[in-house]
Structure 1
Amino acid sequence: MTLSRLPATAEHPPLHRLQGLDRSHLGAAHLYLASNVALPPAPAPLPPLAPGQWLGSGTFRNSLYLAPWRLHAGLQSLWLALQVQGALRVRIMLATPGAPAQTLVETTVEQDGPGWCCWPLPPPDTLPAASRLFWHVEALGPCAGLQDAWWCTATPPRRSIRLATLLRTHGRSAAVQDLLRQWQDQAAGHPALAATLGSLDLWVLDSSEDAPAQWDGVDTRGLGLRLWHAPNLGGGGNASHLLQRYLAAHEAGEPDAQAEELLLLDDDLQLSLESLARYAAFLHWRQGEQVWTLPVLMKSRPTTVWEDGAYWGRQSPLQDPRHRGLGPHLLRHGLRLDDFGPLDDFSVLHPVDYATFIFFGLSLATLRRIGLPAALLLRGDDVELSLRAGAQGVPVLSSPNLAAWHEPAHSHAQEYLAVLHGMLLNLAHARTPAADHVRWFEQRLLAHGPLGDLAGLAVYQQVLDDLCEGETSALLTPDFMAHYPARLARLRQARWTALGPGDRERLHVQHHTGQLQLRPYLYPAPLPLPEGGSALLPEAPRVLLLDESRDSVHEPAHDDSVRLQHLQAYLHRLAQFNRDHEALRQHWRQRLRASGEPAFWADMARRLESRTQLLRQQTRDRAAMLAHAPTLPSRTRPALGPLAPALAAVPASATASRAARSADAAPRDDGENRPEGRSLLAWLRRPSERRGATVTRLDLPEDFDPQVYLALHADVARAGVDPRRHYLQYGRAEGRRYRV
């Protein structure tokens, strides 16, 4: 990959770009920059700032979370580079969970024209791992402004890497094309992002029946792209088919298949090119082996987190991994980023059980160790591969410096895939007792049976049928795709009625007045047990099952004889599953392991060879690209202005001084450069590295008026946060006014 850098000057050594400014505005604008002026989305430039106007990067997408770099990269130095013009006050801040933000650097700059100004920061190993850095600039005169911002390091990269990004799609050709088009647009006029996009190896497998027509005439110039068309094998199957073809090309020495790092992406996601550039930069310094994912937010609710990694089986890290439930526990699921309060929640880097195939990054060496995704249509393929990584001692982590947007899907068919594949994973990777599995299926019976919800009950009946088939099943064999179509078609037969305007509110009123029972169609709560009545055939009011995502309802059947027939068949199959539990565990464990072997997928590739077509192959002159890696002009950093740091947890602050470059030079023999002696306190106390430092307690000003503060700052009022807490944690650092 091509790393962007600032060349050495008399004021700083060569600086490599770690993280730039993300202005893609996927999701909501306040996730990107804080400001007291309206900001246009990229590619429009940031507007000039009038005196008193300010910008801040203390947001979800532009804070620098230190944990990945501090724990897994071994950086020796950290710098901030701002491309600015005019007179500005610059603050560089540190935030840690549960503590007020600290000012590490406060200074003024004056630039006649746009130029880069650079400040050294404390060495990363002196800063708390669970923290984030951000900057704040305020205009002191007219025509001031900021064009770009980089977090940088003077530490040379540990290695040069290549990154292959692999996307597979079925029926969403346009979504993949839109993603590539967005990356091309974001790279236009942005040398650092253009360098990232230009050095990616992009491999796409499109299993849509009309893929050749869908890609005809699509402009992919400038991309290193290999585009395949092949029969559909589902999410995991298509991923393995594409990976197998990449591995074969790699072993054959083909020039566009020599990446050491691989990234699997979903087709229905929004991901900025800046996130991709950040991940690629991190790989140049990464130490050890890991699998990486990222926080995933919802497209329909763009400030709501869907998952940030997960624990399989609703398991916390302290529980016995051999005994797992069926469903995952999604980390930070439902967390809302409507204000800046939750941002520090991402500072701690949690090892998790699995990474989603929405974004699944690993090295080629790790892939060779753990094998390819199992032969599963959808749901659970990413979980299973992650569990294999964990079993090999490879941690699974989520980087808070990255983010994507995706829309989850729910239906009876999706539930069937999730539970069936969840059971296969559970049987293969855990030692959950048969009684725990039986109890779970009994709960589903008691939830759906009394409601007469035969469509819902059929989901779990089908799972039991499939598990008990054993040797005769096509699941996890080379013919695994033959298993799914008829079953999924049956599970889609339930009749649903679309709700009109006001219907949902009317139904909720009827529910609360006892005229009907309105329940979610997935995981409904059981009906109250009637006194002296039947638990499975209760006399209940009318029941409607609600699908909120599709705004529709389903009314279950109430024929008792039909219901009893289904209940009897369900219990019969559950008894068989309980009786044969250990034999089924051994059988499915062997099949699951075999379907992730490279030999399995090499055989699949041979079977599909005559129906697999290379639609497009575009290569680039890689040597020429590396020879022209973007090196941006850097002006001498201007003289520093007076300091006014605000610290609560450390006694002194330091300016960005020339002497601080000693962090990149040979270590001094004063005890402070030894690992056990290095600390943020030591860095701050070095006389040569502070200039006129003072100490300011973070107390509220005596004339602070909470109501005036809320009136002056509508965004704080809308967020509903305590104005005192907001001022102490963010407002003071951002220069917000608190009085008229």
Structure 2
Amino acid sequence: MSTSFTFPEGMTPYTHHRGRPLYRVQGVETMAAGSSHMNFLHSGEATRGGVNQGALLRAGEWIGSGTFRNSLFLEPWAQMTSVRDLNLVIEFAGALRVRVTRVSRGQGAELLHETTLQSASRTRHVISLGSPGDYPESTRLFWHIESAGVGAQLFDASYCAGVAPSQDCRLAVLMRTFGRTADVKALLQRFIDAAADEPFHAELLRHMHFLVLDTTPGSETAWDDEWLSALNVDVHFGPNLGGGGNAGHLIKLFNEACDASDAPPTEVLILDDDLSMSMETLARYFMFVAYRAQECLTSLPVLMKSRPTVVWEDGGFWGRLNFHEAGDFSRKRNLFPNLLKHGLTLDNFEKVDQFSPLNTCEYATFIFFGLSAKSLRKLGYPVAFFLRGDDIEMSLRAQEAGLQMITNPNLAAWHEPAHSYGQEYMAILHGIIINLRYGEHDASFYARYFEDRMHEHASIDDEVGLTLYRDILLELLNTKSQVLTDDFQQHYLTKLKALSVHRMTRLPDVDREALERRAREEKTLLVPFVYPGYHSQVRKFRNVVLINHPLRSYREVPPMPIAAKVSLMAEYGQLMMRLTEEFDTIVTHWRARLAETGGETFWQRIRDRYAGQTRQLATWRRPQAAVTADAIQVSHDAQAGAAADAATAKLVNRLRGAALSHEQSHQSLAANDTGEAGSDMADSEVDVAELPMDFDAEFYLVLNPDVMKSGMSATTHYLKFGQLEGRRYRV
């Protein structure tokens, strides 16, 4: 059993307008992540029922999309795609007012379009918005929809392109995991559930193929669920080679499948196994690459799961554009990334426009890493880092190859950052190896870095920290190291196991905050567990406690015997001397290894070596019947018209009932006061024969909400008052 690709030909349009197909590029994001204001602005309960399920808007209620997740940021479309005909398609029933607004960074809001729409049946109305390239730079668009009259039902509001995308766009989504089988399956289930409610999502799933490499022991039977048949998915089982190693192994399996296919995927998206994202984000990405007019590597804003309105990163620059280098744009790089928009809070709407300019960056993580299959072949494979740095190195390699990298603000994902002694070990070791290839620092920079680490951790008697950085030095100087060899994972498995014994205690937030408040009065020195700073007055404190802020955990530092401390620092000094003396040899050694493990030959050896431990667990295929565009009528004019038939009357009654449910008791009292029975008021007093032949009683009430509130029947009111007042009774 091996992976084979089956993709449909062509893409079904979202709808048609005046004989032209329209293809949706951005629908409504409804996934709950943090506060509801990330998705919508609205009055009262205006989102009850949910957009896409037919949100009911009572009289005067409104809903707006000028938010982080439902604004349309134009720069990626204007600069990177072939879209030159943009439209907003409103799917609704009832009566509503629509406003479309643009905001360009540094300018005020400008109303682009305003119209009133009315239809008793479910209808789509198309508003032309022109070309994304015709707007000022750094523009976002959003809509504001308000119920007019009795109320309305909003089913969808989608931005659509009037030109067809690439009809052979085929997306492969690659996911690898160790220990997070349930998380990966939950994400796939989310995609399936979304497609069950949204035909357009269902259509796009036909054009996607998911490849999963699960290295979790015992997961062999976890992929037998029948619900997976709603996807095109292949699941492989193999040895755990770490995040970077598993990525390289999976890409090798993917390339083999492509070589054996007549119509392989044209696009590749690498996803992390513990991110949270919506099917709408995946759909927006697919349509973006289907229209993409130039090669680029695409990522997205990543927010924190624990603080969903806080941005962790929006791409980044590796070791540049930060205070450590005083804003230096040269190739002199330190060992820390500058994460763009890091810490930006979206608790309100003031900072949404910061996402409007096209965001070019230097590196992105494998949380979300998208590029064409052609570009992936050109770049090669991730280097054989177990964890940390594999995505950075591949990003820098892409930059050297001339591949532009952007983040697309119309997409978003949530992920939780974490750090530990093991991750610090890999981050620094790999960061130095990367800089030996892509940076320009000489030996003194690295010697000074390790000297700072020695002084800081020695000042607080932190033997674990001292040993950690000493071991990194040892590995850099070890020309027989297993790092970046065929046995690379063995080094990490041994090292991570040794570092895991240094456990930290996690405290509940209440206790943690109390501890930090009382620390100074109790003469406790609280410092970060890495980069604690130099503390010359540490003896004034009764104890030293290390903090791992992301994990909210703590570890008290025991006093270090002076003999052990002196011995460790002496060894440290000798290693720094060797680093300086042998620097040229070290640079040559690690550059050669880095180049080898990013290439085809290395990963073919890994594939052959673990062929006996790698097997295909499951193959599921989604039925390939086309998801046809539904027959909802599309209006061409500002006023949407429809015949008043039995179905129309039923829908209007539903809208009217929803709008009046909160007034029923009031109307009952009014009827008692007048001695009449609500809407049955005295039709005998008027001559029904005088009604126009096309009089629509239901629509008269929709168009004249004051009549419905009065309790008078449509017929009576029109013949007594409405005719003289010139009131409308139909669309």
Question: 2: distance between equivalents of 1:487 and 1:247?
Answer: 31
Counterpart for residue 633 of structure 1: 632
Question: 2: distance between equivalents of 1:99 and 1:328?
Answer: 32
SS of 1:428's partner is helix
* Structure 1 letter corresponding to 2:145: V
> Residues 71 and 140 of structure 2 are in contact (CA less than 8 Å); yes or no, is this contact kept in structure 1?
yes
Q: Deviations over 1:283-322 (max 9, x none)?
A: 1210111110001111111111111101001436973342
Q: Deviations over 1:245-296 (max 9, x none)?
A: 11111111266xx101000001001110111111111112101111100011
Counterpart for residue 386 of structure 1: 395
Question: 2: distance between equivalents of 1:632 and 1:337?
Answer: 39
1:33 aligned to 2:40? yes
Counterpart for residue 669 of structure 1: none
Counterpart for residue 73 of structure 2: 65
Question: 2: distance between equivalents of 1:105 and 1:155?
Answer: 22
Larger proportion of strand: 2
Counterpart for residue 695 of structure 1: none
Question: 2: distance between equivalents of 1:304 and 1:484?
Answer: 32
Question: 2: distance between equivalents of 1:392 and 1:498?
Answer: 44
Counterpart for residue 543 of structure 2: 542
- Structure 2 residue runs of 5 or longer lacking an equivalent are 1-7, 641-731
* Structure 2 letter corresponding to 1:636: S
Q: Deviations over 1:615-638 (max 9, x none)?
A: 11123565x44xx55456342234
* Structure 1 letter corresponding to 2:454: L
Aligned CA distance change for structure 1 residues 396 and 631 (closer, same or farther; 3 Å): farther
TM-score by length of 2: 0.82
> Residues 109 and 638 of structure 1 are in contact (CA less than 8 Å); yes or no, is this contact kept in structure 2?
no
Task: Give 1:159 deviation, angstroms.
Answer: 4.8
Structure showing greater Rg: 2
Task: Give 1:226 deviation, angstroms.
Answer: 0.7
1:289 aligned to 2:295? yes
1:370 aligned to 2:379? yes
SS of 1:23's partner is coil
Counterpart for residue 601 of structure 2: 599
Question: 1: distance between equivalents of 2:546 and 2:594?
Answer: 35
Counterpart for residue 235 of structure 1: 243
> Residues 51 and 139 of structure 1 are in contact (CA less than 8 Å); yes or no, is this contact kept in structure 2?
yes
Counterpart for residue 195 of structure 1: 203
Aligned CA distance change for structure 1 residues 87 and 42 (closer, same or farther; 3 Å): closer
Mapping for residues 60-459 of structure 1, pairs under 5 Å: 60-217=68-225, 219-253=227-261, 258-315=264-321, 319-459=328-468
Task: Give 1:359 deviation, angstroms.
Answer: 0.5
1:552 aligned to 2:559? no
* Structure 2 letter corresponding to 1:259: P
> Residues 417 and 550 of structure 2 are in contact (CA less than 8 Å); yes or no, is this contact kept in structure 1?
no
Question: 1: distance between equivalents of 2:466 and 2:222?
Answer: 39
> Residues 26 and 270 of structure 1 are in contact (CA less than 8 Å); yes or no, is this contact kept in structure 2?
no
Task: Give 1:538 deviation, angstroms.
Answer: 5.7
SS of 1:18's partner is strand
Task: Give 1:503 deviation, angstroms.
Answer: 3.8
Aligned CA distance change for structure 1 residues 584 and 630 (closer, same or farther; 3 Å): farther
> Residues 320 and 328 of structure 2 are in contact (CA less than 8 Å); yes or no, is this contact kept in structure 1?
no
Question: 2: distance between equivalents of 1:494 and 1:322?
Answer: 36
> Residues 6 and 632 of structure 1 are in contact (CA less than 8 Å); yes or no, is this contact kept in structure 2?
no
> Residues 6 and 634 of structure 1 are in contact (CA less than 8 Å); yes or no, is this contact kept in structure 2?
no
Aligned CA distance change for structure 1 residues 173 and 341 (closer, same or farther; 3 Å): same
* Structure 2 letter corresponding to 1:375: A
Task: Give 1:353 deviation, angstroms.
Answer: 1.0
> Residues 3 and 17 of structure 1 are in contact (CA less than 8 Å); yes or no, is this contact kept in structure 2?
no
Aligned CA distance change for structure 1 residues 302 and 500 (closer, same or farther; 3 Å): closer
Counterpart for residue 709 of structure 1: none
Task: Give 1:396 deviation, angstroms.
Answer: 1.0
Aligned CA distance change for structure 1 residues 13 and 191 (closer, same or farther; 3 Å): same
SS of 2:150's partner is coil
* Structure 1 letter corresponding to 2:13: R
Q: Deviations over 1:123-153 (max 9, x none)?
A: 2221023111110001111231211111011
Of the three residues 53, 56, 75, the one matched with 2:64 is 56
SS of 2:345's partner is coil
> Residues 4 and 17 of structure 1 are in contact (CA less than 8 Å); yes or no, is this contact kept in structure 2?
no
Counterpart for residue 21 of structure 2: 14
> Residues 25 and 288 of structure 2 are in contact (CA less than 8 Å); yes or no, is this contact kept in structure 1?
yes
Question: 1: distance between equivalents of 2:406 and 2:17?
Answer: 37
Q: Deviations over 1:636-665 (max 9, x none)?
A: 234369xxxxxxxxxxxxxxxxxxxxxxxx
Counterpart for residue 483 of structure 2: 475
* Structure 2 letter corresponding to 1:234: G
Counterpart for residue 715 of structure 2: none
Question: 1: distance between equivalents of 2:277 and 2:406?
Answer: 18
Q: Deviations over 1:41-85 (max 9, x none)?
A: 869834311121101011111111001100000322111001011
Question: 1: distance between equivalents of 2:638 and 2:183?
Answer: 49
Question: 2: distance between equivalents of 1:436 and 1:286?
Answer: 42
Q: Deviations over 1:323-382 (max 9, x none)?
A: 111110111111111111111000111211111101100111101111111101011111
TM-score by length of 1: 0.81
Task: Give 1:214 deviation, angstroms.
Answer: 2.7
> Residues 26 and 272 of structure 1 are in contact (CA less than 8 Å); yes or no, is this contact kept in structure 2?
no
Question: 1: distance between equivalents of 2:329 and 2:342?
Answer: 22
SS of 2:33's partner is coil
Question: 2: distance between equivalents of 1:503 and 1:171?
Answer: 30
Task: Give 1:417 deviation, angstroms.
Answer: 1.1
Mapping for residues 580-599 of structure 1, pairs under 5 Å: 580-599=582-601
Task: Give 1:6 deviation, angstroms.
Answer: 4.3
Aligned CA distance change for structure 1 residues 319 and 501 (closer, same or farther; 3 Å): closer
Question: 2: distance between equivalents of 1:178 and 1:433?
Answer: 47
How many positions carry a matched residue from both structures?
627
Aligned CA distance change for structure 1 residues 218 and 449 (closer, same or farther; 3 Å): farther
> Residues 296 and 306 of structure 1 are in contact (CA less than 8 Å); yes or no, is this contact kept in structure 2?
yes
Task: Give 1:543 deviation, angstroms.
Answer: 1.1
Residue identity (%) = 38
Aligned CA distance change for structure 1 residues 262 and 44 (closer, same or farther; 3 Å): closer
SS of 1:270's partner is coil
Kindly report the root-mean-square deviation, in angstroms, between the aligned alpha carbons of the 2 structures: 2.1
Question: 2: distance between equivalents of 1:374 and 1:106?
Answer: 54
> Residues 293 and 355 of structure 1 are in contact (CA less than 8 Å); yes or no, is this contact kept in structure 2?
yes
> Residues 71 and 141 of structure 2 are in contact (CA less than 8 Å); yes or no, is this contact kept in structure 1?
yes
> Residues 33 and 57 of structure 1 are in contact (CA less than 8 Å); yes or no, is this contact kept in structure 2?
yes
Task: Give 1:479 deviation, angstroms.
Answer: 0.8
> Residues 223 and 235 of structure 2 are in contact (CA less than 8 Å); yes or no, is this contact kept in structure 1?
no
Question: 2: distance between equivalents of 1:365 and 1:331?
Answer: 28
SS of 1:269's partner is coil
Aligned CA distance change for structure 1 residues 503 and 79 (closer, same or farther; 3 Å): closer
Question: 2: distance between equivalents of 1:438 and 1:214?
Answer: 49
SS of 2:604's partner is helix
* Structure 1 letter corresponding to 2:79: L
Counterpart for residue 665 of structure 1: none
* Structure 1 letter corresponding to 2:610: L
> Residues 295 and 309 of structure 1 are in contact (CA less than 8 Å); yes or no, is this contact kept in structure 2?
yes
SS of 2:478's partner is helix
